[in-house]
Structure 1
Amino acid sequence: MLRLRGCILVRLLSSPATSQAPPLHRPLSAAAVSPNPSFVAHDYLVSTCGLTRAQALKASAKLSHLKSPAKPDAVLAFLAGLGLSAADVAALVAKDPLFLCASVEKTLGPVAIELAGLGLSHSEIARLIPLSFVHFRSRSIVSKLRYYLPLLGSSENLFRVLKKGYLAGADIEGTVKPNVALLRQCGLDDCNITKLSLAKGGVLSSKPERVRVMVACAEGLGVPRGSGMFRHALDAVGFLGEEKIAAKVAYLKKTFRWSDAEVSIALRMAPCVLRKSKELLQRRSDFLISEVGLEPSYIAERSIIINYKLEGRMKPRYYVVKFLMENGLLKCNPGYYYTAFKVREKVFVEKFISPHTEVAPHLAEDYATACEGVVPARFRFT
Structure 2
Amino acid sequence: MHYYLALFGSSGKLLRVLDRSPYILSSNLERVVKPNAAFLRECRIGACDIAKLCVAQPRMLTSNVERVRAMAARAEGLGVPRGSRMFWRMLNALAFLREKDITAKVEYLKDTFRWSDAEVGIALCKAPMVLALSKDLLQRKSEFLISEVGLEPAYIAYRPTLPTYSLEGRLRPRYYTLKFLKENGLLDHDRDYYCAVVLPEEVFMEKFICPYKEAAPQLAEDYAAACKGEVPARFRFT
Pick from 359, 366, 371: which aligns with 2:222?
Answer: 366
Deviation at 1:165, TM superposition (A): 3.0
Cα distance change of structure 1 residues 347 and 280 upon mapping to structure 2, 3 Å threshold: same
User: Retained in 2: the 8 A contact 1:269–1:303?
Assistant: yes
From the superposition, tell whether residues 258 and 362 of structure 1 become closer, same or farther in structure 2 (CA, over 3 Å): same
Q: Name structure 2 gaps, 5 residues minimum.
A: none
TM-score by length of 2: 0.95
SS in 1 for 2:237: coil
Q: What 5-or-longer segments of structure 1 have no aligned partner?
A: 1-144
The one-letter amino acid paired with 1:179 is: N
Distance 1:232 1:210 in 2: 17
Match of 2:56 among 190, 193, 199: 199
The one of 61, 65, 72 aligned to 1:215? 72
Partner of residue 297 from structure 1, selected from 150, 154, 157: 154
Q: Is residue 2:197 matched to residue 1:349? A: no
Q: How far is the alpha carbon of 1:331 from its aligned partner?
A: 6.2
What is the CA-CA distance between 1:350 and the residue it aligns to?
0.8
Partner of 1:170: 27
**Which residue of 250, 256, 260 maps to 2:117?**
260
Letter in 2 for 1:379: F
Given that 1:166 and 1:202 are in contact with CA atoms closer than 8 Å, whether structure 2 keeps it comes out as no
CA contact (8 A) 1:263 1:300 kept: yes
**1:332 positional shift:** 7.3
RMSD: 1.4
Aligned length: 237
Residues 169-207 of structure 1: CA distance to partner in whole angstroms, max 9, x if unpaired? 111111111111110011212221111111112110100
* Deviations 1:81-118 (CA, angstroms, capped at 9, x unpaired): xxxxxxxxxxxxxxxxxxxxxxxxxxxxxxxxxxxxxx
Amino acid at match of 2:237: F
TM-score (norm 1): 0.60
Once residues 278 and 194 of structure 1 are traced to their aligned partners in structure 2, the CA distance between those partners, rounded to angstroms, is 29
How far did residue 378 of structure 1 move?
A: 0.8
| Whole-Å separation in 2 of the counterparts to 1:155 and 1:353 | 41
Contact residue 197 and residue 203 of structure 1 kept, 8 A: yes
Q: Which has the larger radius of gyration?
A: 1
The list of structure 1 runs, each at least 4 consecutive aligned residues, that deviate by more than 6 angstroms after superposition, is: none
1:146 CA drift (Å): 2.7
Identity %: 60
The reply to whether residue 276 of structure 1 matches residue 143 of structure 2 is no
Could you tell me how far apart the structure 2 residues matched to 1:178 and 1:235 are? Answer: 18
1:224 to 76, 81, 105: 81
The aligned counterpart of 2:101 is: 244
Residues 316, 173 of structure 1: alpha-carbon distance in 2 compared, 3 angstrom cutoff: same
Q: What secondary structure is seen at the aligned counterpart in 2 of 1:222?
A: coil
Q: What residue is the counterpart of 1:317 in the other structure?
A: 174
Counterpart Cα distance in 1 of 2:189 and 2:97: 42
